[in-house]
Every structure is written in C-alpha cells, then in structure tokens.
Amino acid sequence: MSKVYKDATAALDGILSDGMTLMVGGFGLCGIPENLIAALRDSDIKNITAISNNAGVDDFGLGLLLQTKQIIKMISSYVGENKEFERQYLSKELELEFNPQGTLAERVRAGGAGIPGFYTKTGVGTLIAEGKEHKVFNGETYIMETGLKADVSLIRAWKADKEGNLIFRKTAQNFNSTMATAGKITVVEVEEILENGELDPDHIHTPGIFVQRIIVSRDLEKRIEQLTTRPKEAV
C-alpha cells in the first residue's frame, strides 16, 4: 500500500473530524508543515485542539487557523509572536494550556512511546504544578506530567523514502521527529521523496513505521522570522 499522496488535500482526506486533537511540528516558523496547514485551513474542520510549541505569526503557520477560528484550544510553550492569539486568549475565545517546552517535548515523546506519565522537576512551585501529583525522589520534589497523543500529527521533514523513513535538516527537526511517533496517523510533507534504498539506513531520524502518509511540499515559503546577518568581512 503506497504511503505517497498527490497533495496535501488528498493526504488529509478521510482523517479529519471536528473536535480532533492535532499535533503540528515546528519551532516558530522553522520546520512547519506549510502545505498541510494550508489544506487544513481550506477544510471545514472546526474545534481543533492543537498541540504545537508555538502558534505561528498572525498571517502564517498556525496563525492561519487562528484567523479562521478553527482552533478552540492550544497546548504550547510560547505564543509571543502572535498578536491575534493573545487577543483571542485574553478575550477568552481560545483556551490555552501552557506547557514548559521540555515538558511538552517529553509529554509527546512519552505519548508516542506508550508511557502514560512521568515525573519532572520542571515547574515545581509554579502555576504549572497546581493540581498535579507531587512525589519526592531522593529528597527532591517532582510533579507528574502525562503523555500526549494526537489523532493526527502533521509534520515536515527534509527527505523521505517511499517507506516513510525520514531525515530532517538542521534545526527544522525540532518537534517534528517526536510528534511523528505520537500521532495515530502521521502525515509528513517533505522536500523530496526518494526510492527505498536511496537513504542510508544508518542516517534515518524517523523510521517509516511512524509515518502513514507522505507528500512533497509545493511552493514552500520557509519564512524567516528574524533575519539576522553580519556584513561580509573584507578578505
């Protein structure tokens, strides 16, 4: 059975439903699944719970789904780049669950690995710890956090083979490889799909068992949030 689909709309066909939980890879706008987010915006799916480190910017990334009010709840660690998000949250149109970034990453990792909960020092004594089980190990207090799973994970990688083995590029990996493990269905968009055997098996970041559907990205914008450069020094 081929995992390769012709475009983002085809790859999302039949797996979306109102009220679904979605994981979306990326850090800021780096490594976000641009085509899949656009296809989601063009669908009529509503009441999405989105698990993603950030919320994009006002007019790109998950910001597109905030504009259309398709998201009712976000689980994120930092949303500072998105004014519309802040507005919707402060006016209570949107529910927000802040997770420390490492807790979020580990919750996704645990969820994907079938681990229902774990203990961490992160957040002890803060708002994050309220209502959570506390436990002392070797004289130090930890709080219990739970694993996270998603109905669908949308991620971006650099290259895939037809089996769905993935390689990521530089810091565009971020949450993508871990989220691939935690979606009941994981859809990936890549810059290039290769024949099986063309990726070195020793270099695979994400084995194909975690990937159900693959598309090639079209017209990737790869927007840069903070372009910072230095002048070329005279040689």
Partner 1 sequence: MAWTREEMAKRAALEIRNGYYVNLGIGIPTLVANFIPNDVDVTLQSENGMLGMGPFPFEGEADADLINAGKQTITELDRTSYFSSADSFAMIRGGHIDLSILGAMQVSEQGDLANWMIPGKMVKGMGGAMDLVAGVKKVVVLMDHNARDGGIKFLKNCTLPLTGVKVVDMIISDLGVFVIENGTATLTELASNVTINNVKEKTGANFKVDENLLFL
Binding site for partner 1 (CB under 8 A): 27-31, 53, 76-81, 86, 89-90, 96, 98, 100-106, 108-109, 120-128, 158, 168-178, 205, 222-232
CB nearer to partner 1: pick between 1 and 127: 127
Contact 82, 71 (CB under 8 A): no
Taking the CB of residue 77, how many other CB atoms lie within 10 A of it?
Answer: 17
CB nearer to partner 1: pick between 46 and 98: 98
CB nearer to partner 1: pick between 98 and 185: 98
Minimum distance of partner 1 from residue 217's CB (angstroms): 13
> Which strands sit side by side in the sheet containing 117-120, from one edge to the other?
117-120, 140-146, 134-137
Minimum distance of partner 1 from residue 196's CB (angstroms): 24
Minimum distance of partner 1 from residue 214's CB (angstroms): 19
Reduced to 3 states, what is the DSSP secondary structure of residue 157?
coil
Contact 172, 31 (CB under 8 A): yes
User: Can you read off the two tokens belonging to residue 213?
Assistant: 């559907």
Please give the Cα distance from 192 to 177 (Å, whole number): 17
CB nearer to partner 1: pick between 10 and 90: 90
Minimum distance of partner 1 from residue 125's CB (angstroms): 3
